[in-house]
Structure formats: C-alpha cells, structure tokens
Amino acid sequence: MLIVLTSERTIEDEAAKINALFDAGLERLHLRKPSFSIDGYRALLDQIDPKFYNRIMLHEHHELTQEYTLRGIHLQEQARLNLEDALRATLKVYENKGLKVSSSFHSIEDIVDSSGNFEYVLLSPVFSSISKAGYEGKGFDVNHLDEFVVGMGGINEDTLQATFDLGFKGVGVLGGVWNTDDLLSSFGAIHNKCKEVIAS
C-alpha cells in the first residue's frame, strides 16, 4: 500500500494535483491540514472528484466523513492517547458507521500495547524525514508484528526496498512527493518501485 499525506502548507492548484495523483494510481490519501478550518477542508474536498472520496482518510474535522462519504478517519497519536479506556468503544462507533480508522505511532512498544483494532497504523520516523528538519530516522524493524504497519519518514524511491525489508506492509509519503520539482513523476517513480518491491 502506498499512502500520500497532504502537505501542511498551501499548495497551488492542490485539488487538481490530488486528482492527478489519484488518476496516476494513488490508493490512499491522508488529508491533513492542521491550519484549515472545517470550511477550508470543505473548499478543498469540493474540488476533488467525488469518485475518489472512498480513498480519502481525514485527520481533522472527522464529521466531514459522513458529509462527503469518505473512507474514514485517522486518529493522530495525541487524539488516540486522549481517548484512554474509551478507545475501543470509539472505534466501534466509527466501524458501525462503515468508516475505517488508522492511527499514528512513534514506537513499536506503543503499537503492541494499544488496545485499538486499526485498519493500519503509521509508524515514524523510519528514516530521517524529508519534510521535517531534525526528525531523525529510527530504522524500526517490524517483521515480528502482526499489525499492518505503514512506514513513514524519509520514504522515497531510494529507501523503499529497505522499508519493506524492515517488515513494513506499506509506505506513507509526504516530502518525497510534495517537496519535489515534479510531484507526478516523483509519485510515479515511487508507485512503480513500490509495485516492483511488493511483487518480488
């Protein structure tokens, strides 16, 4: 699985670029705009082709999942921790609405200790981040985990093979797409390499 996370910054013609990524084979988009109001999210979603809504996971303003018939929600680490003992019941509520749930983690121990049953979990940073300066990679080895773990942090065409060798079942990309001169060719290279590695 290849996930692209949106950039935190405002991107020119972002919806058109997101549509182009989906047309190029993007399986899953994580829509994450911490500075956006709910109306900012709506403005962006309104410009994305509705046929792609079932591939979008929301990081904030989760109520929009119903309004736009999106795939599901992403629980960021602090939001998950804040739920404490209510986590399982909360996940059940979303499941009953037909929504998928993923979550962020920053240690293997936290994944093992979590009571949540997620569609997949994001673990970072695997390698030093492309989009966040000073975010040093930890080279997590998750071969022993049963969970569907998606690796993030420093993921690009050159680090894909190493990521899957460490036991990750998918990769999440942010800087490897948005911080490049040609996001579609960068995505295409990562997407093709991803298919190669999974098939081998």
Q: What is the pLDDT of residue 116?
A: 86
For residues 105 and 89, give the distance between their C-alpha atoms in angstroms, rounded to a whole number: 20
Each residue's pLDDT tens digit, 138-153 = 999 999 999 999 999 9
Q: Give start and end residues of each alpha helix (H) in the chain.
A: 14-23, 38-47, 64-68, 77-83, 87-96, 108-113, 160-165, 175-178, 183-199
pLDDT at 92: 94
Average pLDDT for 57-68:
96
- What does the pLDDT look like over 87-139, one tens digit per residue? 999 999 999 999 999 999 999 999 999 988 899 999 999 998 766 666 688 99
Residue 190's closest CA among 180, 169, 176?
A: 176
Q: What is the pTM of this model?
A: 0.93
Domain ranges of the chain: 2-199
Peptide bond into 125 cis (omega under 30): yes
Per-residue H/E/C for 16-48: HHHHHHHHCCCCEEEECCCCCCHHHHHHHHHHC
The string of pLDDT tens digits covering residues 152-167 is 998 888 899 999 999 9
Is the domain covering 2-199 a CATH 3.20.20.70 domain?
Answer: yes
Residue 132: predicted pLDDT? 67
Instruction: Please say whether the beta carbons of 155 and 126 come within 8 A.
Output: yes
What is the tens place of the pLDDT at every residue in 8-60? 988 999 999 999 999 999 999 999 999 999 999 999 999 999 999 999 999 99
Q: Are 163 and 171 in contact (CB under 8 A)?
A: yes
